[in-house]
Amino acid sequence: MINGILIVNKEQNMTSRDVVNKLVKIFNTKKIGHTGTLDPLAEGVLVVCIGNTTKLCELLTSKYKEYIATIKVGIKTDTGDITGHIIEQKECYIDEDKVKEVMTSFLGKSIQEVPIYSAVKVNGKKLYQYARNNEKVELPKRQIDISKIDLINVTQNEITFKVLVSKGTYIRSLINDICQKLNILGTMSKLIRTKQGSYSIENSYKLEDIAKGNYKLLTKEDVLSDLEIIDINQNLYEKIKNGSIIDKNFKDDLACFRYQNKIIAIYKTYSKDITKAKPYKMFL
């Protein structure tokens, strides 16, 4: 079985699930998962785990993501992007200095409302199903973190910006909040994920190239290189192999344990006793 992490450059008009389905056929394995959904409108970096590296999906999903987004000014849609139905339209004046000021105000941690057209579930039902059935539902709110935001270009019809955000941030919601603060109408017309963690679009592969064999897989050792790696003896190996809680001998919340040049497990701080560590992901 093939094992590894693949950095895909997703094209527009495909769901993240569509990408996985195509890779299932290419690699002839069903053990494939992606690490952060991209809307069909969006393109760019989609980190995919194959084989035993699917255990890393949760860890890789938590990485910060960088986007370049474009706002079409003067219209508002029901979905928050250009694929939706226009529900409001008016001429808007844009002041570049005001746009910079407003965007800067979103830096740091804040609470964001999840858009109604999303796959987040409320009471076992996806939000977009409520929207399509014209049913009212209280939209969930999440804490997000915007660590960087830069204006790229402004015209009277479009605003383009680059932003670095935490897991769970909806760029459509951010755009809606920006437009409300600017007192203009706007909707997302283009979105490119340029980076996820340390994986950038420059080092990604399109599906057509992957199908031809033109790609390089990353190993779990490659993607875990930013974590502390601890070499262990046979005695500790036996304890870890059995999933034991052990004394914590690493600095951060997570660390990798390596035996005979292979990473065998990731351990995390034990919440009930921070001097101990418990299994997080096992590769035995």
pLDDT digits (tens, 9 = 90+) for 166-175: 999 999 999 9
Placement of tokens 């600095």 in the chain: 251
Q: Average pLDDT in the 49-55 region?
A: 93
Please determine, looking at this structure, whether the domain spanning 4-63+198-220 carries the CATH number 3.30.70.100. no
Q: Average pLDDT in the 240-255 region?
A: 94
Confidence of residue 212 (pLDDT cuts 50, 70, 90): very high
Cβ(71)–Cβ(198) below 8 Å: no
Task: Round to whole Å and give the CA distance between 142 and 228.
Answer: 30
Nearest to 230 by CA among 252, 256, 248, 209: 256
Q: pLDDT at position 36, please? A: 84
Q: pLDDT at position 31, please? A: 94
Task: Round to whole Å and give the CA distance between 139 and 125.
Answer: 12
Mean pLDDT, the chain, integer: 94
Could you say which of 39, 97, 226, 253 is catalytic? Answer: 39
Q: pLDDT at position 17, please? A: 93
Domain segments of the chain as ranges = 4-63+198-220, 65-189, 227-282
Task: Report the percent of the chain where pLDDT is more than 90.
Answer: 82
Q: Average pLDDT in the 217-223 region?
A: 91
Q: Average pLDDT in the 32-38 region?
A: 91
Q: What are the tens digits of pLDDT across the range 80-116?
A: 999 999 999 999 999 999 999 999 999 999 999 999 8
Q: pLDDT at position 37, please? A: 87
Whether 1 has a pLDDT exceeding 80, the answer reads no
Residue 13: HSE in the Cβ half-sphere, 13 Å Cα cutoff: 0
| CATH for the stretch 65-189 | 3.30.2350.10
Confidence (pTM): 0.90
Q: pLDDT at position 98, please? A: 96
Active site residue 253: no
Q: Average pLDDT in the 210-232 region?
A: 93
Q: What are the tens digits of pLDDT across the range 116-160?
A: 888 889 998 898 898 888 888 889 999 999 999 999 999 989 999
Task: Round to whole Å and give the CA distance between 35 and 258.
Answer: 24
Q: pLDDT at position 81, please? A: 95
Whether 246 has a pLDDT exceeding 90, the answer reads yes
The strand pairing partners of 68, in sequence order, are: 162, 192
Superfamily of domain 227-282: PUA domain (2.30.130.10)
Cβ within 8 Å of residue 263, ≥6 positions away: 220, 221, 224, 229, 256, 257, 283
Same fold, 4-63+198-220 and 227-282: no
